[in-house]
A and B are shown apart, each in its own frame.
Chain A
Amino acid sequence: MRIVCPFCGERELGEFTYLGDAKPQRPAADAGEDAVYDYVYLRDNIAGVMSEHWYHGGGCRSWLKITRNTLTHEISAVEPAAGAGAAKVGA
């Protein structure tokens, strides 16, 4: 499997680390225990297209958001995760 890093170009899988589902959003401070439990522990086991976080630790050290089909490994989109390349974001 190869991943096209938006900063580095096409690289082998060995340069990347898989984090997991990119969907969960940190709940608000007053959201309650169930919401936090869900955010920290509960994950869908998706067979199909999934949004994932990957880390290009063996390369540019950027976090990436990757859309991957877990059945075929086909990658349909790669984009920088929030914060990567932030110097170009408005101050």
Chain B
Amino acid sequence: MVEFSWVVRSPLEHALVAGPYGASGEAGVSLTEIRNFDLIQVMARRGKATEVATAAKARLGVAAPETPKAVQTSDAALIWSGPDQFLVLSKGGKHAINQLSQAFASSASLSDQSHARALISISGAKARAVLAKLSSIDLHPDAFPVGAAAATSMDHTSVTLWRGDDGLNGQAVFNVLVFATFAESLWHTMLDSAAEYGVAISHSEEF
């Protein structure tokens, strides 16, 4: 019997080099990888939409989003990922798979995506300009306000994109969830796209 030793590490561990990148001067964009999160996909079973809504409300305190939106609670974000399905993003294990599976046992199928995705947060004065090169979604605040979400593609890669609460400086914060095996590729594309504005690269456990 082969013994495996699983080392938990970020899919961007090699690609991400914290510090300044691209044009010098004040960074126009901050690219921050968020590490160490719990991410659970909840998919309602046939005919169980109402039960899932009730279970979400009881377990997480809010109704699950039924349209492309992200709903923030005090300790989790519920992000629409398609019809009858959403992601629960949290940290610290409170809403990990074992904690959620009871609540949705009779109404939804759950899948643990915690180590299957990378989470990248894009902010700064030029955040929208960077994303405009990668995404065909209109991210103008009138079209994509705080709480807007989209299941879409960037650079031919499926992503879940949503706008979180504005940063302390009042600037928009965009979050991108990407499949772990595509994360490095998308990361490099993002860096290329952001280089001309100057980038501040970091990683964080906070979100």
Q: Are B47 and A84 neighbours in the complex by a CB distance under 8 Å?
A: no
* Residue of A14, A84, A85, A87 touching B153 (CB-CB under 8 A): A14
CA distance A88 to B158 in the complex (A): 25
User: Which A residues touch B82, using CB under 8 A?
Assistant: 7, 59-62
User: Which A residues touch B44, using CB under 8 A?
Assistant: 87
Q: Is A86 an interface residue (CB 8 A)?
A: yes
Q: Are B47 and A87 neighbours in the complex by a CB distance under 8 Å?
A: yes
Q: Is A90 an interface residue (CB 8 A)?
A: yes
Total A residues in contact with B, Cβ cutoff 8 Å: 22
- Residues of chain A from 59 to 91 with CB closer than 8 A to chain B in the complex: 59-62, 80, 84-91
CA distance A12 to B84 in the complex (A): 23
Q: Is B20 an interface residue (CB 8 A)?
A: no
User: Which A residues touch B68, using CB under 8 A?
Assistant: 7-9
CA distance A80 to B52 in the complex (A): 21
Q: Are B151 and A12 neighbours in the complex by a CB distance under 8 Å?
A: no
User: Which A residues touch B151, using CB under 8 A?
Assistant: 8, 59-61
Task: Name the interface size band of chain B.
Answer: 10 to 19
CA distance A84 to B84 in the complex (A): 9
User: Which B residues touch A60, using CB under 8 A?
Assistant: 81-83, 151
CA distance A60 to B150 in the complex (A): 8
Q: Chain B 149-167, CB within 8 Å of chain A: the 1/0 string?
A: 0111100101000000000
User: Which B residues touch A90, using CB under 8 A?
Assistant: 47
Q: Is B103 an interface residue (CB 8 A)?
A: no
B152's nearest neighbour on chain A, judged by CB, is A59
Q: Are B48 and A87 neighbours in the complex by a CB distance under 8 Å?
A: yes
User: Which A residues touch B46, using CB under 8 A?
Assistant: 86-87, 89, 91
Q: Are A58 and B158 neighbours in the complex by a CB distance under 8 Å?
A: yes
Q: Are A15 and B84 neighbours in the complex by a CB distance under 8 Å?
A: no
User: Which B residues touch A89, using CB under 8 A?
Assistant: 46-47
Q: Is B190 an interface residue (CB 8 A)?
A: no
Q: Is B74 an interface residue (CB 8 A)?
A: no
Q: Is B169 an interface residue (CB 8 A)?
A: no
User: Which A residues touch B150, using CB under 8 A?
Assistant: 8, 59
* Residue of A59, A61, A80, A86 touching B47 (CB-CB under 8 A): A86
Interface residues of B (CB under 8 A from A): 44-49, 52, 68, 81-84, 136, 150-153, 156, 158
| New contact pairs (6) apart from A59-B150, A60-B83, A87-B83, CB-CB < 8 Å | A8-B68, A14-B136, A58-B156, A86-B46, A87-B47, A91-B48
Nearest 6 CB-CB pairs, A to B? Answer: A91-B47, A87-B44, A87-B84, A58-B153, A60-B82, A87-B49
